[in-house]
């Protein structure tokens, strides 16, 4: 049973099946991991039920976000053991909210202090802190590709497969997946490593991405795939787990 089967009607699933959607692309031979916007803004600074967490962190996904963090940690360890490149994105904004653009028109709380440059919100949690060999990309819009050098880095590395995790499934993850598909990468969304503040939006968007733009894969299948890859030079070593990542760190682009 797929994660979306309890919210997508059987008739809808049948319509997509008849239309030929949902075929598996499969993993390629040269992957990279993409961790989309997993920062304190979106998970809070400790695991709490979402209605408690959003009292301070208005974007927080609560406990499901921290479950995602734990899954991402396992994925990162497996990727680093094989020398697979890892990319992170995070979002921070000017204090005057100028660089939000039209986002200002969709959210009445745009520009609050936790999300601006220098605040804790844009920081990536210590548990999944980037290694010195990883690349952290700052972005202003939903897609990890929009207005960033991500595609050029992936092309330079000869990457053919993106292992996508992060938040939110219905927003920044989806936008990044659609753009990754448009660039003709094999896009694999790691189910346990993605999350959303809405469980229905999470499931519906996983379904739609799996039908048209990506393979939604389990963490277990992804770990088996990584384990079967040949090692790519020296394994990549994570930073010490007690060292917090700052949004101004040197590996940020």
CATH of domain 10-227: 3.40.50.850
Strand ranges across the sheet with 215-217: 135-139, 85-91, 31-36, 161-167, 186-195, 215-217
Q: pLDDT tens, 173-222? A: 999 999 999 999 999 999 999 999 999 999 999 999 999 999 999 999 99
User: Tokens for 202?
Assistant: 């999470």
Q: Are 67 and 195 spatial neighbours (Cβ–Cβ below 8 Å)?
A: yes
DSSP 8-state secondary structure symbol assigned to residue 163: E
Q: What is the pLDDT of residue 96?
A: 80
Longest dimension (CA), the chain: 51
Q: What is the pLDDT of residue 102?
A: 82
From 165, 229, 232, 225, select the one nearest 25 (Cα to Cα). Answer: 225
The Cα–Cα gap between 180 and 213 comes to 9
Q: Of these residues, 35, 79, 84, 172, which one is catalytic?
A: 172
Q: pLDDT tens, 87-132? A: 999 988 777 878 888 877 887 777 665 666 667 889 999 999 999 9
Our answer to whether residue 172 is catalytic in this structure is: yes
Q: What is the pLDDT of residue 249?
A: 47
The Cα–Cα gap between 163 and 34 comes to 6
Q: pLDDT tens, 32-87? A: 999 999 999 999 999 999 999 999 999 999 999 999 999 999 999 999 999 999 99
As a three-state string, the secondary structure of 165-206 is EEECHHHHHHHHHHHHHHCCCEEEEEEEEEECCCHHHHHHHH
The Cα–Cα gap between 189 and 114 comes to 28
């Amino acid at each position: 049973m797929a994660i979306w089967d309890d919210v997508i009607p059987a008739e809808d699933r049948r319509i997509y099946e008849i239309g030929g959607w949902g075929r598996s692309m499969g993993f390629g031979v040269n992957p990279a991991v993409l961790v989309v916007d997993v920062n304190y803004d979106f998970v809070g600074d400790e695991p709490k039920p979402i209605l408690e967490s959003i009292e301070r962190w208005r974007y927080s996904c609560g406990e499901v976000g921290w479950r995602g963090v734990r899954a991402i940690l396992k994925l990162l360890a497996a990727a680093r053991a094989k020398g697979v490149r890892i990319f992170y994105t995070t979002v921070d904004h000017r204090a005057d909210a100028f660089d939000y653009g039209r986002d200002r028109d969709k959210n009445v709380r745009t520009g609050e202090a936790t999300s601006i440059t220098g605040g804790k919100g844009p920081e990536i949690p210590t548990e999944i802190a980037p290694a010195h060999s990883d690349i952290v990309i700052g972005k202003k819009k939903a897609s990890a590709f929009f207005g960033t050098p991500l595609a050029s880095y992936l092309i330079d590395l000869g990457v053919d497969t993106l292992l996508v995790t992060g938040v939110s499934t219905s927003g920044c993850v989806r936008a990044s997946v659609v753009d990754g598909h448009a660039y003709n990468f094999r896009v694999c969304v790691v189910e346990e490593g993605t999350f959303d503040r809405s469980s229905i939006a999470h499931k519906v968007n996983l379904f739609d991405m799996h039908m048209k733009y990506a393979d939604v894969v389990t963490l277990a299948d992804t770990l088996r795939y990584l384990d079967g890859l040949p090692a790519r030079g020296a394994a990549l070593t994570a930073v010490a787990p007690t060292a917090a990542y700052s949004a101004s760190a040197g590996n940020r682009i």
